[in-house]
Structure 1
Amino acid sequence: MKLEDFLAQVPQGDLWVFGYGSLMWSPGFGYKQKRLARAYGYHRALCILSTRYRGTHRRPGLVVGLCRGGSCWGMAFLIDAAHVRVALTRLWNREMPRRVYEPRLVLVRLRGGRLVRALAFLADPGHPSYVRELDVHGRARLVALRLRGGRLVRALAFLADPGHPSYVRELDVHGRARLVAQGIGIRGPCVDYIQNTLAHMHHVGVRDPHLERVLHAALALRENQRA
């Protein structure tokens, strides 16, 4: 999919965008509302090999994608209709250079109970950089998102694409921790990325036990390497 094709599929008017990783704490675009939200039918997973932002081709890091199954807390951002094209162009250039994600509109519930459709970036299970946890398949789409407070909305999310070359398959917690511990890219260490993501989640009162376990194991690996 090209940027123009993507923009042509986006509904007219204001647009919600669902962030579940670095978009939560560094969206990179202007917005008029920011709400805690929950997407249903998808979960956050450390499933994308990072060879630029948080790693290199020789020593890749690992970043999150949105995969099928379960639910996921994140942040929903409402973009004014007049600024949607500029914001989505920035998002496309940031999230889609390797096409490891697929943008989709998903249902999300906003804090307060309202259900909206939001743009999210789903992981592509067919991509070579996809790291598989289970037999899951994902695409970028509109997902159901529940905001804290109960409101359910549909939000566009970029789901990880398991078919993409950067999708990492069949790694346990320790295998993922090794990638997190080693990865350093143009935006810094992969460990910092995970710490920032978890810190933002903790600030709004939500947790991700799996991500916490991976971070703990990665920090332990780094300490052992220094010893």
Structure 2
Amino acid sequence: MLPMDNDGAPHDEYSERATSVEDYKVTCIQFIKDISGDYLAWVDYYKLPEEEDKKRRSQIHAIVERTNEWMAKIATTIKGVDVVMNDGIQKMAENTAGYPFQIGVFVNNMSGYTLAKPGIVDINIKAVGRQGFKVKLGWHQKDKRFLISSTSPVEIDESNISDTDSDLLDLHLKMDAQKCQLRDVISFTVVVIETKDGQEYERRGMTTIIHMG
């Protein structure tokens, strides 16, 4: 049983009532602080070994700080605040569930909170399964490979993605962010599947946000 993510859906009831970007930032910064308590409660529920418990708690606290910093300093529109806020919620859900196998997503050698210029952006996805397991890129939903939320239209080229599992995943994908402007923000989630004897064993999402700077 895992905590639910919010599937990137903006909190319309907040954004529709927002009278200014600054007021909305204050509301959403408090919301991130409040909802983090729910994810910390899930960590309690899991009754994890001490070291893993401490790791997940520290990751959730770090996400709250970094997400709120991005909302305060980087987001310039209500849509931008929504993208950053939902990115933080997604990250909290992922880190509450933890990662039983190694996975990393990198943009310009940065992970989690990243920086790129408008244009074609290289995304590097790396993963290694546990001993006896293999890995491959999965689907966020049945008909949607990636979850993407952005202040400007972007696309990830899926033409070179293999559905074959392997011991090591080291994949470079191209994101078309040519329609982006400076200060745009893009959040995307990739899903990696761990397999054994050709059958799915575990799946984990990893969410990354890009600041166009």
Q: TM-score, normalised by structure 2?
A: 0.28
Q: Which has the larger radius of gyration?
A: 2
Choose between structure 1 and 2: higher helix proportion: 2
Choose between structure 1 and 2: higher strand proportion: 1
Q: TM-score, normalised by structure 1?
A: 0.27
